[in-house]
Amino acid sequence: MTEQVLVIEDDTDIALVIRLVLSRSGCEVTGAADGREGLRVFHAGHPDLVVLDVGLPTLDGWQVLERIRDMSDVPVLMLTAHGQENDKVRGLTSGADDYLTKPFSNKELAARVQALLRRPRAERKESDVYDDGRLLVKFGSNEVSVDGSPADLTPIEFRLLAALVRRPGQTLSAEQLLETAWNDPFSVGPERVKFAIMRLRRKLGQAEGATHPIEAVRGFGYRYVVPPAGAPRSG
């Protein structure tokens, strides 16, 4: 089967070269020139690999990587600018599988891409499921269930929940959640997060006011607190 590669790169010359190299290695290539468009193409096409530039308009490579990781364990090759050595470390701790520093040779690009595509699926998946015994989140298929019953979430609610359970106990600000969950974070205000969290809590089967694993941290944001094993269900 032909491997599908999505290239998200705003520099048209570099994008063209990547396209040529990958087509020559037998891949089918789709492209996007900014972060938001990249996510749209990603969701539309479910590629086998993403080549992702760090410096992008609308959403930068880090924001795109985070959004992709909330959904998928697809291999991601980050392209970092020369001299930005810290980006390599950041890329690998943020869930990128490999990185290439510009300028890179065609041969090196082809080799890295082939190595990532050859990786067995099982090795790519470290955490495509969150399960604390009550809440089950399948990141790949966007399925959520609470105590065994499926929860019907909108894409925004799913992304909010995914962002929170990916980092249990860690407080995420309304701004971070906006950027993670909304396609147009700059056209909506942080109060939208509050209402979406309220709806999400209700859909997860807990009443307002009861102790809920999604906690508001006054003045800071929200966090997911893993319920202790055997805790009675609230609400």
Residues 6+ apart with CB under 8 A from 187: none
For residue 163 the two structure tokens come to 């962002």
Q: Which of 53, 66, 87, 97 binds Ca ion (CB under 5 A)?
A: 53
Q: How many residues bind Ca ion (CB under 5 A)?
A: 3
The smaller minimum CB distance to Ca ion, of residues 10 and 73, is found at: 10
User: What CA–CA distance (Å, rounded) separates 127 from 10?
Assistant: 30
Q: What is the DSSP string of 6-68?
A: EEE-S-HHHHHHHHHHHHHTT-EEEEESSHHHHHHHHHHH--SEEEEESS-SSS-HHHHHHHH
Stretch that binds Ca ion, among 47-55, 63-71, 121-129, 200-208 (CB under 5 A): 47-55
User: What CA–CA distance (Å, rounded) separates 133 from 10?
Assistant: 43
55 binds Ca ion, rule: CB under 5 A: yes
Whole-number minimum distance, CB 38 to Ca ion, in Å?
12
87 binds Ca ion, rule: CB under 5 A: no
The smaller minimum CB distance to Ca ion, of residues 55 and 95, is found at: 55
**Chain residues 1-20 in contact with Ca ion, contact rule CB under 5 A:** 10
State which residue has the least CB distance to Ca ion. 55
Footprint on this chain of Ca ion (rule: CB under 5 A): 10, 53, 55
